[in-house]
Structure 1
Amino acid sequence: MTKTHSRQQHEVVAHYLRSSIRDGSFQPGDELPSEAELTRKFSSSRGPVRQAMSTLRAEGLISSGRGRRSVVLDNVPTQSFDDIISFSQWCHNADIVPGQRTQWVARQPAEKSLAASLEIPDGAPVVSIFRLRLMDDVPSMVERLNYPLEVGRHVLAFDPDSGSIYQELLDRGVDISRASRTIDAVAAEEEDAALLEVAVGTPLLRVRRRAFTSSGEPIESSDDRYLPWKASFTTNSTRDTPSSLSMISSGWPLP
């Protein structure tokens, strides 16, 4: 097998196993190939194979083995923090080519609800970005990002069509330590529908995110709207273990 130049051997093995689980070649309950079989398949030593298996165990996809072959536990991997924050990183890990078409970048005063989300005074300056995001060059999500000026100034000096804003902020030393996400459904409004090439009113999966520094200061408030056939969310819960997912009442009246 030809090794992708940008990947290390263990990443190639992990990608093969992850993809095979995702497409159903290996289903929950199936045994995976042995270490010996994988070393032969990839002309590899045992070290990279074991590292790949360890990665999939950490993602919750396979069992620990314990002297036996590992078994597939699930077909949806857990996500790293970078995957949760960064659309580009999520696409790369799913072997999708991410893209973007920036609609506008603006420095503007924060309206009341945005100011509350970022915990800044009403009318304080923020930097806002509106982009169409692409998956393999196909429109898939509209993205609205908002940053307080101290963080957003890095975005003003960056070409948002060139790649990941999240990675640019990390490279600039911005402290991004924690994030919360609220997920619901909304109907596509005219602007979003035109960019996503769907009819007005098409259901969209909305993900509202707030990101915080290690000291708890909010530094991002975003609103991402996905075509629902392009993305979905899965959570796994275990008895006696707190879940990162919380279900809350919408406050709507009962029928």
Structure 2
Amino acid sequence: MAVASPAESAAPKTLDRTSAIPLYQQLGEILRSRIEAGEWSPNTKIPSEHELNREYGLSRMTVRQVLTSLVNEGLLFRVQGKGTYVAPGKISAKSPAYTGMRQQLEDAGYKTSTELVDASVGKADKHVASHLGIDAGDEVVTITRLRRVEDEPVSLHISSVPLGLAPSLLKEDSASEQLCVILDREYGLVMGHVEETLESTRASRWEGEKLSINPGEPLLLLRQQVSTPEGIPFEYTRILLRGDRIRLSYSYKL
């Protein structure tokens, strides 16, 4: 006789019509538990609204409301004309300030690849200059990389470094090696302090094209100002992350 896993055992199976908890909320928890217990694999089509209506005895409007809520949570996604499917699980990673994101993902067993989208020397605008402690118009090396996980694009990394601090940076292989490793080894720019901000934004047409999403879809924007132990800023990076595929975690010791 098969023994249910703890996740399966804890999952509610039926609606409790005597409970004070609304039926739509109960159904949401049941479907969420079935997904988390692995009853439906990622990218698998779940029962239709009509089938769920018959199984649980709720109106199609209520079932549709519950499914929409789970879509908004990122647990499900809809394909027009085909149905509703289980979304792939999100990739969990800590802030790159702890350990490079690529190293984290590879340590977790993911296959990653990095595409060098652009590498060039240009003049810093006021925004970039303010984060690098230089004047607007000073020359910076800007490197744009696209990170893929299991062949799916998940993040864009746009890094700027003062040209005077890394004059030969364009000659380095910034697709195969992490930028922080190159800056440390070749130019003695050791990471001593990182300031980060995290906010939501929407994909531009170009960003959407690179990340294989529609323009206007939400992204996480992580900005990093990296300085030496002496407080000299040497890197400013903007990382655009697909919020539907990556979850950032933080840990604090108080």
TM-score range, shorter chain: 0.5 to 0.7
Structure 2 alignment gaps of length 5 or more: 1-35, 38-91
Ranked by relative contact order (alpha carbons within 8 Å, sequence separation 6 or more), the top structure is 2
Tell me if structure 2 keeps the 8 A contact 1:99–1:163: no
What is the match of residue 219 of structure 1? 234
Aligned with residue 205 of structure 1, among 220, 228, 238 = 220
What is the match of residue 143 of structure 2? 129
What is the match of residue 208 of structure 2? 193
Once the two structures are TM-superposed, the CA of residue 210 in structure 1 deviates from its matched residue by 0.6
Tell me if structure 1 keeps the 8 A contact 2:157–2:240: yes
Q: 1:174 to 1:140 in 2, by over 3 A?
A: same
Structure 1 alignment gaps of length 5 or more: 1-22, 25-75, 242-255
Aligned with residue 89 of structure 1, among 103, 107, 123 = 103
- The reply on whether 1:234 has 2:249 as its aligned counterpart is yes
Q: TM-score, normalised by structure 1?
A: 0.59
Identity %: 21
Q: 1:141 to 1:113 in 2, by over 3 A?
A: same
Q: 1:163 to 1:80 in 2, by over 3 A?
A: closer
Root mean square deviation of aligned Cα: 2.4
What is the match of residue 52 of structure 2? none
CA distance in 2: counterparts of 1:156 and 1:123, whole angstroms: 19
| Farther-moved stretch of structure 1 (138-147 vs 97-106) | 97-106
- The reply on whether 1:181 has 2:186 as its aligned counterpart is no
Q: TM-score, normalised by structure 2?
A: 0.59
1:139-181 deviation line (CA, Å, top 9, x unaligned): 0101100001133424212122223222222222322211111
Q: 1:226 to 1:79 in 2, by over 3 A?
A: closer
Give the residue type in structure 2 aligned to 1:98.
T
Aligned with residue 168 of structure 1, among 162, 182, 189 = 182
Tell me if structure 1 keeps the 8 A contact 2:93–2:248: no
Which portions of structure 1, spanning 4 or more consecutive aligned residues, are displaced by more than 4 angstroms? 76-82
Between Structure 1 and Structure 2, which shows a larger proportion of strand residues? Answer: 2
Give the residue type in structure 1 aligned to 2:232.
E
Tell me if structure 2 keeps the 8 A contact 1:126–1:152: no
What is the match of residue 100 of structure 1? 114
Aligned length: 164
CA distance in 2: counterparts of 1:192 and 1:218, whole angstroms: 27
Give the residue type in structure 2 aligned to 1:144.
I
CA distance in 2: counterparts of 1:78 and 1:228, whole angstroms: 14
What is the match of residue 134 of structure 2? 120
Give the residue type in structure 1 aligned to 2:185.
D
